[in-house]
Amino acid sequence: MKIRIGVIFGGESVEHEVSIISAIQAMNKMDGEKYEVVPIYITKDRQWYTGEALRDIETFQDIDLIKRYCKNIVLYEKNGHFLLQNKKGVLKSIVAEIDMVFPIVHGTNVEDGVLQGYLQSIGIPFVGVDVYAAVVGQDKIFMKQIFEQEKIPIAPYVWFYDVEYQESQSEVIEKIEKLKYPVIVKPCTLGSSVGIAVAHHREELIDALDSAVTYDNRIVVEKVIDNLMEVNISVLGNYENQQVSAIEEVTPKNDFLTYADKYIGGSKTKGKAATKYKSNNKGMVNTSRIIPAALSDKLKSEVEDISVRAFKALKSSGVVRIDFLINKKTNKVYINEVNNIPGSLSFYLWSPLGKDYSELLDQMINIGIKDYKKRNAKIHSFDTNILKGFSEMGGSKGLKGTKKFH
């Protein structure tokens, strides 16, 4: 009997479109002999839909097509079953039953623990990180603070709230300029390089900060690493076992790898052609990358070691991509960030090791099942009736005369 996998993607996120691409790639590579794939799409206004049309990227060029050919649904649990039910209409019929969820989502409100919290609260098995790892993996400041505690090398940085910048701009700028230019400005919880900018002087810094605070209420600013080489690696596993992928060197056209570098590139194809183009062995697009990266054995070993340490420190699970910054002159390695649900699920970093995309997805699903069993094996509640004792002690008297909230 096939396992029914509900692939959730989209969501209220600036990385909405990237999620669609990643999900369609993955759904097309899941082993049809083992899995029955049920697409579950979350629109930008937080409506959930399911339907086979969601496996075709052309469907997303017109939202009316989704409303016409797909069903508006809710996911809920009933008697140990996880059901997709029509949201609208007098007769709310069951559309599908699923056994497990595979979130392929990027960014705020979906990758950051919000979705994982909902899935965990209804008790459905799911692939990837749990709530805690999702939160710190999306929050660049929390992540850096954990890395500092674990003595994992990071670039010098400062952070602040948007209100601090708005009320005391000069003080914030003075704090940043102690890092020395150039610096890179990042919204705390966004991914895919959205809202990120490099500043070489104060005028560029103010422009970058003015932009960043429109995306997030916390901003992190880092010192740009001199003689920069950017490399990425993927880690697969959970806290018990970890595997590392090949290492890639990425060569951005700009001061850093932009959203356009990652997802737009030079492609002008549309529709199914675009899907095929973006699903090649290079990942999302033809970003200039070298696999394997030209690293000495010592540097390669250091990147792999730090990757596993970071993966375990954040309690990651499934497949993640970890981005590194290297000073080519000093050979100093700095971890940049961990991406809990990377674009294309970083399948192209596993291909050189002989692990194709279908096998990678299969292993991720198996890890998700093991994580679910381990969570359920722990004690989460006590068989006690504290409320009965509270009532007998007259605790309910304090509820008399309370007003209802309207």
Residue 235: how many CB atoms within 10 A of its CB? 23
Count of structural domains, the chain = 3
Domain presence at residue 261: no
Domain presence at residue 262: no
Hunting for tokens 């697009």 — which residue is that? 285
Residue 143 pLDDT grade (very low, low, confident, very high; cuts 50, 70, 90):
very high
What's the CATH number where 216 sits?
3.30.1490.20
Given a contact cutoff of 8 angstroms between Cβ atoms, the answer to whether 5 and 37 are in contact is: yes
Task: Based on the fold, state whether residues 237 and 190 are members of the same structural domain.
Answer: no
Which tens digit of pLDDT belongs to each residue from 313-366? 999 999 999 999 999 999 999 999 999 999 999 999 999 999 999 999 999 999
What's the CATH number where 356 sits?
3.30.470.20
Task: Based on the fold, state whether residues 101 and 191 are members of the same structural domain.
Answer: no
Domain presence at residue 275: no
Task: Give pLDDT, residue 67.
Answer: 87
Give the up-direction half-sphere exposure of residue 256: CA atoms within 13 A in the CB hemisphere.
Answer: 24
Task: Based on the fold, state whether residues 231 and 347 are members of the same structural domain.
Answer: yes
Measured distance CA(26)–CA(20) in Å, rounded:
10
Task: Based on the fold, state whether residues 56 and 146 are members of the same structural domain.
Answer: no
Task: Give pLDDT, residue 279.
Answer: 41
Task: Based on the fold, state whether residues 237 and 345 are members of the same structural domain.
Answer: yes
Domain presence at residue 329: yes
Task: Give pLDDT, residue 395.
Answer: 58
Task: Give pLDDT, residue 285.
Answer: 52
Residue numbers of the domain that contains 162: 157-223
Short-list 111, 125, 123, 18, CA closest to 316: 111
Which tens digit of pLDDT belongs to each residue from 267-308? 333 333 333 333 445 555 546 889 999 999 999 999 999 999
Task: Give pLDDT, residue 379.
Answer: 78
Given a contact cutoff of 8 angstroms between Cβ atoms, the answer to whether 361 and 26 are in contact is: yes
Residue 89 pLDDT grade (very low, low, confident, very high; cuts 50, 70, 90):
low
Task: Give pLDDT, residue 401.
Answer: 53
Hunting for tokens 């700009």 — which residue is that? 254
Compute φ and ψ for 397, nearest 5 degrees: -60, -30
Domain presence at residue 343: yes
Instruction: Work out the percent of the chain whose per-residue pLDDT is above 90.
Output: 75
Task: Give pLDDT, residue 254.
Answer: 59
Task: Based on the fold, state whether residues 351 and 237 are members of the same structural domain.
Answer: yes
Given the DSSP bridges, would you call strands 100-103 and 3-10 parallel, antiparallel or unpaired?
parallel
Give the C-alpha distances (Å, rounded to integers) separating 210 from 42, 191, 197, 400. 30, 18, 11, 51
Mean pLDDT of the 76-104 span? 88
Q: Which of 223, 239, 259 is the last residue of a domain?
A: 223
Q: Is the pLDDT of residue 391 over 80?
A: no
Measured distance CA(154)–CA(156) in Å, rounded:
7
Which tens digit of pLDDT belongs to each residue from 40-79? 999 999 999 999 999 999 999 888 889 889 999 999 999 8
Assign 3-class secondary structure to the chain.
Answer: CCEEEEEEEECCCCCHHHHHHHHHHHHHHCCCCCEEEEEEEECCCCCEEECHHHHCHHHHHCHHHHHHHCEEEEEEEECCEEEEEECCCCCCCEEEEECEEEECCCCCCCCCCHHHHHHHHHCCCECCCCHHHHHHHHCHHHHHHHHHHCCCCCCCEEEEEHHHHHHCHHHHHHHHHCCCCCEEEEECCCCCCCCCEEECCHHHHHHHHHHHCCCCCEEEEEECCCCEEEEEEEEEECCCCEEEEEEEEECCCCCCCCHHHHHCCCCCCCHHHHHHHHCCCCCCCCCCEECCCCCCHHHHHHHHHHHHHHHHHCCCCEEEEEEEEEECCCCEEEEEEEECCCHHHHHHHCHHHCCCHHHHHHHHHHHHHHHHHHHHHCCCCCCCCHHHHHHHCCHHHHHCCCCCCC
Q: Is 109 left (phi over 0), alpha (psi -120 to 50) or beta?
A: left
Instruction: Report the chain's mean pLDDT, rounded to a whole number.
Output: 88
Task: Give pLDDT, residue 136.
Answer: 95
Q: Is the pLDDT of residue 261 over 80?
A: no
Task: Give pLDDT, residue 16.
Answer: 93
Task: Based on the fold, state whether residues 188 and 321 are members of the same structural domain.
Answer: no
Residue 400 pLDDT grade (very low, low, confident, very high; cuts 50, 70, 90):
low
Task: Based on the fold, state whether residues 101 and 24 are members of the same structural domain.
Answer: yes
Higher-confidence residue of 274 and 112: namely 112
Measured distance CA(386)–CA(391) in Å, rounded:
9
Given a contact cutoff of 8 angstroms between Cβ atoms, the answer to whether 86 and 111 are in contact is: no
Q: What angle do CA 87, 91, 93 make, to 5 degrees?
A: 65
Task: Based on the fold, state whether residues 363 and 231 are members of the same structural domain.
Answer: yes
Given the DSSP bridges, would you call strands 197-199 and 318-327 parallel, antiparallel or unpaired?
unpaired
Mean pLDDT of the 255-261 span? 51
Task: Based on the fold, state whether residues 29 and 87 are members of the same structural domain.
Answer: yes
Task: Give pLDDT, residue 88.
Answer: 74
Task: Based on the fold, state whether residues 208 and 145 are members of the same structural domain.
Answer: no
Mean pLDDT of the 125-151 span? 97
Q: Is the pLDDT of residue 172 over 80?
A: yes
Task: Give pLDDT, residue 178.
Answer: 97
Domain presence at residue 26: yes
Measured distance CA(307)–CA(326) in Å, rounded:
14
Task: Based on the fold, state whether residues 162 and 51 are members of the same structural domain.
Answer: no
Domain presence at residue 282: no
What's the CATH number where 29 sits?
3.40.50.20
Q: Is the pLDDT of residue 110 over 80?
A: yes
Domain presence at residue 147: yes
